Amino acid sequence: MLDFIYPISYLISLTGLILWFYFKESGSISRKMSSVFLISFLIYLVTLAFTEATLAYKLLILFRDLSILAILSQLFSYVRKNSLIVFVLAIVIYGVIQFVGFSMLYDTFPQVTETINPADDQFELLVETKDGVVPKSYDMLIKKYGLIIEKPFSPVEPALSKLDEFIAIGIPDEAERDVLTIMRELRRLNGTEDVEYNETITLEENEVQASTPKVNAQHVNDPLVSGQWGWDMIQGDQVHNIMSSHPHPKKKALIAIVDSGVDGAHADLRDQYLSGGNNNDTDPLGHGTHCAGIAGAISNNGIGIASLIPDASFVQVTSLKVMNAMGIGSQIATIQGMIKAADMGADVISMSLGGLSSDTKQKAYEEAVAYCNARGAIVIAAAGNSSQNAKNYAPANAKGIITVSAIGPDQKKASFSNTVNDVQYGIAAPGVKILSTYPNGEYKELDGTSMATPMVAGLVGLLKAFRPELNTQEVYTILYDTGKLLPDGKSSGRLIQAANALEKVMD
């Protein structure tokens, strides 16, 4: 609603101010127009203040809008005695508003897409255009192949990235054999910056493989923590000991689980769970619920498992569902989830998903990461479970993402885990036989880089609770400097040491 009131109130303010200056020698009309301006401008200011955006972005928009008000009001005041010039100027301004101005104002604060369609299989391609509109040069290609065009991304603050310059292209079944030809033709056309596949995304989960040691935790009373073998390895008990003397974080950090949904009613999650709305609070697969428990299960509640998070005053967990009921999603849906998470105010975005990538560049993912970073979120993704190099898997290989490998109880890289030595920010966490929450009040052990990823996300959320200003480079430096060197060296990355990292931000 605010995104509609904003342009209307501004245009009425502009009209009122122009007429106020134009009729300034006519007392009664001038007073009426001044009232119109003041009331509509007050509505404009209130709308601008309460619209969801950062303060810096709002100030930039305010400067733009006030500049236009000042220039046009002075211009009309200067030429008001020449009726012909006033008439021509009014026609020109009306035309600009009709064809450019209103859409520009309306798009200043675009609506967030509330529903994410995990199965965006009707769109095969993602194309970055030069100005975010479908170039006229595409017309013949669209007609020739019957292509479907849609704008897939609607960030609240489009100026923070180039996401609004992407279009999604759907190819009819009868033309799918021509996809490579279509891509070549698109690359040759004026207005095209980049063309990439809308790649299929799956969940990074394996069947349980190994036996694990038991844990003797001293600072939490959750009965199933004895089955969380990674607790000791990542210094979980030490974290809770530190937290007992530091009960006041600077903010309540928000971790967004971009996955299959989360069972927000689970007894070990609900008091620390922030509803994602729509169908995000249900999880037919269980994968997202499992990840949510690893990142932020309620600790010291006398039931189930523990996480690094002491209580909901430090960190909350929310959910964005981007996978369908079969555990399959798309690049478009994943990026939509990232955007929505960032626009919800997430401090950490945890993505235990991915797939083999045929694109050498990850322009769309990297623009999405840049947008999330600009909104204050750190993005963490699973390395993948194919025993390959994560540089060939997306979104794990995108610049700006912290990529997580999985290790086993022997502190060696899990046999299934992809390596992280060729990605920008590689790190390791336990990912074998990880016990966590499961839908309908249950608990389950799963293997995968999927399980290692939210463990890192939980730690990063805790760091952000004490140091909200931390960016990705700073967080990774802390994780790396305080991490433990493992037998597999760079291929696994360093093992997170949560207590050491926490003490680093408290120095």
User: For residue 57, what are its two tokens?
Assistant: 């972005």
**pLDDT category of residue 217 using cuts at 50, 70 and 90:** confident
The predicted pLDDT at position 434 comes to: 96
447 catalytic per annotation: no
* Distance of alpha carbon 273 from alpha carbon 286, whole angstroms: 16
For the stretch 427-446, pLDDT in tens is: 999 999 999 999 999 999 99
CB atoms within 10 A of CB 127: 26
Active-site annotation holder among 13, 299, 319, 450? 450
DSSP strand pairing (393-394 vs 353-356): antiparallel
CA dist., res. 426 & res. 488, Å (int): 13
| Reported pTM | 0.75
pLDDT at 461 over 50: yes
236 band by pLDDT with thresholds 50, 70 and 90: very high
Residue 186: which residues within 8 A CB-CB, separation 6 or more? 125, 127, 138, 141, 169, 192, 195
Q: Of 83 and 385, which is predicted with more confidence?
A: 385
Q: How far apart are CA 334 and CA 120, in angstroms?
A: 10
pLDDT, tens digit (0-9, with 9 covering 90-100), for 276-295: 888 899 999 999 999 999 99
- Indicate which residue of 219, 266, 287, 290 is catalytic: 287
**Dist. CA 193–CA 356, nearest whole Å:** 23
**Do 384 and 424 contact (CB within 8 A), yes or no?**
no
Query: Rounded CA gap, 401 and 395, in Å?
Result: 8
Distance CA 69, CA 21 (A): 11
Band the pLDDT of 9: cuts 50, 70, 90: confident
Residue range 368-386: mean pLDDT, rounded = 96
Give dist(CA 262, CA 18) in Å, integer. 53
Q: Which of 157, 453, 135, 479 is nearest to 293 (CA)?
A: 453
Bridge partners for 253 per DSSP: 315
pLDDT of residue 115: 46
Examine the pLDDT at 465 and tell me if it is beyond 70: yes
pLDDT cut 90: percent of the chain above it: 60
Higher-confidence residue of 493 and 102: namely 493
- The whole-number pLDDT of residue 59 equals 77
DSSP assignment of 259-273 equals ES---TT-TTTGGGB
Region 229-256: mean pLDDT is: 92
Catalytic residue (choose from 164, 259, 263, 447): 259
What does the pLDDT look like over 74-126, one tens digit per residue?
776 666 666 666 566 666 665 555 544 444 554 455 443 344 555 455 788 99
| For range 392-419, the mean pLDDT | 96
CA distance 97 to 217: 66
pLDDT at 34: 81
Backbone angles phi, psi at 37, to 5 degrees: -60, -50
56-68, pLDDT tens digit by residue?
Answer: 567 777 888 888 8
259 is catalytic: yes
Residue 70 clears pLDDT 50, i.e. is over it = yes
- Taking only the tens place, the pLDDT of each residue in 311-365 is 889 999 999 999 988 888 999 999 999 999 999 999 999 999 998 887 767 899 9
